[in-house]
Structure 1
Amino acid sequence: MTTLVVTGAGGRMGREVLSVAADRGLAVAGAVNRSAVDDPVAGVAVSEPETLPELLADVDGRPVVVDFTAPAATTTYAETAADHDAAFLTGTTGLSETDRETLTRAGDRVPVLWASNFSRGVAALRRAVAAAVRAVPGYDVEVTETHHNGKRDAPSGTAETLVSEVEAARPGLEERTHGREGVAPRSPTEVGVHARRAGDVSGEHEVLLAGDDNVLELTHRAGSRRVFAAGAVDAAVWLADRDPGVYAFDDVLDDRTESAEATTSDPVSDTQ
């Protein structure tokens, strides 16, 4: 059975991950948080970050650290995980190039998976956006995201990923315009990027493609953070037995799709 250790356990996502793990009966060896959390979260006591090495050392087999924190904490946790042969999964966004290099170095020793979003719906949106942009050359593209008023980075990591998909699908789009003010006519080489922060919105992303007399909107709305936590737990279970390396959420989804297709096409399975 996969054993999890959760960082940022006092935060929104950390709590959701622990809740999903409890509902699925997964083993959780412990949880840490930078600020004190007096009560257990989903039945798991939360301790200080300094206890992470001890928590990892006490696990038989390879544990998986599930991390939704902030860049400085994420890189520290990644190094600690690698030092203790623990797989490391993170959904922290706002990582710098240096931060990503730290994850890559950890991936030389243990399996590491980073994703800006663990929703299967968002994964489908990314692929649909790339196909749509290629299908309508010349259309203007705008990406808008909305999140709760406590989110730190803007635009969101998912929005950044969507813009990267757009740019890869149409190389001529090489300028990102973050909002507009005053006299600001659109350039044919730009992608508009807009971030909104309000209330307790779990996450909304919209990609608008507009041409002459044609408008196409591709949208994903998350009803709660639990959808992201569920995807992260699925990915953590998948990651536990992988070889060292840096993986993406698409690797998890593609592997499961191939497995499902192989099972469906197995003539023995069809007769049982």
Structure 2
Amino acid sequence: MAEKERIKVGISGSLGQMNQSIINLILKDETMVLSSLFEPYKKVSEQDYILVSTEKLFHSNDINILENSDIILDFSHDSNTFNLLSFAERNKKKLVIGTTKLSNQTFDLMRKVSKNIPVFYSPNMSYGINAFFSLIPSFLEKFKDFDIEIIEKHHRRKKDAPSGTALKMLEIIKNKKKDYVPIFDRTNLDRQRENNEIGICSIRGGGVYGNHTILFLSESEEIEITHRTLNKDSLAKGALLALKYINNKTNGLFFYDDIFKEN
């Protein structure tokens, strides 16, 4: 494929760990070219660059470097994602967002700008976990009278808890069972479990990439469904799938459900 036909991809949060896996895959993908690297938090130096073919592509602390892109891929933090949404709308850039723990203010802006540009959002870009999400409503139908618990496990360096993926699982459940209440800490409750509770447990330790389990429990049996991320490539591959999906979109807010519906 000719260079001019390739999708020009800009990376936001370019020195973050997740984006290193994505960059490696983009460099191997003949349908894309890495066009710009924006790092919003860490001060970059002359040693911070990527070799694209034989050319050095430098990381930059200037968001305007992303003007040289067709689609911007963002794995960063809420404050940067908020600013990036306005930048993308102003510069007519397509946007794929994998940042977790977004504020209501950022979600509101996302919905607003998606009227003018295409925005794809997923708190977990893994194809497998999103297929898992799509199955949860059918589990809820089959296990109506079962207690529900969620367990998420990540490496010791992960700062936020619960994970964005666990919160997405909770959101899906609450869409079907609106009176359910999440319980993050039972330490001071000193009472038995209520029927409309969903316990969410966060485990941090070692080098676990990310495991998510949903439990359905009755007095006589237990069903446990788990998704395990074995390495970051599953997330990176999913992010590139999302990027290719919105490449031909003109505007709108898109999710993994849209990919499943069209395939």
2:18 maps to 13
Q: Does 1:84 align with 2:96?
A: no
CA contact (8 A) 1:129 1:218 kept: no
Give the partner amino acid of 1:39: D
Structure 2 residue aligned with 1:234, among 235, 241, 252? 241
User: 1:136 maps to what in 2?
Assistant: 143
Q: CA deviation at 1:98?
A: 0.6
Q: Which has the higher helix share?
A: 1
Partners of 1:27 and 1:222 in 2: CA distance: 27
- Please name the residue that 2:60 is paired with: 48
- Distance of aligned partners of 1:197 and 1:46 in 2 relative to their CA distance in 1, 3 Å threshold: farther
* Correspondence 1:1-272 to 2 at 5 A: 1-25=6-30, 26-33=32-39, 34-35=41-42, 36=44, 38-41=47-50, 43=52, 45-50=57-62, 52-56=63-67, 58-59=68-69, 63-173=70-180, 175-182=181-188, 183-255=190-262, 257=263
Task: Please give the alpha-carbon distance, in whole angstroms, between the structure 1 residues aligned to 2:207 and 2:10.
Answer: 27
CA contact (8 A) 2:182 2:199 kept: yes
3-state DSSP of counterpart to 1:102: helix
Q: Deviations over 1:142-184 (max 9, x none)?
A: 00111122223211111011112222233442x1100321524
2:10/2:36 contact within 8 Å kept:
yes
Q: In structure 1, give the amino acid aligned to 2:26.
A: A
* Distance in 1 between residues matched to 2:147 and 2:58, nearest whole Å: 48
Deviations 1:111-146 (A, max 9, x none): 011111111111121122221121111111000111
Query: Are the counterparts in 2 of residues 125 and 218 from structure 1 also a CA contact under 8 Å?
Result: no
Alpha-carbon distance in structure 1 between the residues aligned to 2:176 and 2:116:
33
Contact 1:130 1:169 in 2 (8 A): yes
Q: Are residues 39 and 211 of structure 1, via their aligned partners in 2, closer, same or farther at CA, if it must alter by over 3 Å? A: same
Residue 134 of structure 1 contacts residue 170 of structure 1 at CA under 8 Å; is this kept in 2? Answer: no
Kept in 2: contact 1:14–1:68 (CA 8 A): yes
CA RMSD of aligned residues (A): 1.7
Structure 1 range deviating more: 215-224 or 163-172: 163-172
Greater strand content: 2
Number of residues of Structure 1 aligned to a counterpart in Structure 2: 250
Q: Is the 8 A contact 1:15 1:41 kept in 2?
A: no
Aligned residue in 1 for 2:3? none
- Give aligned-pair identity as a percent: 22
User: CA–CA distance in 2 between the matches of 1:152 and 1:77?
Assistant: 22
**Which stretches in structure 1 are left out of the alignment for 5+ residues?**
258-272
> How far apart, CA to CA, are the structure 1 residues paired with 2:7 and 2:123?
23
- Note if contact 2:36-2:65 (Cα within 8 Å) is conserved in structure 1: no
TM-score by length of 2: 0.89
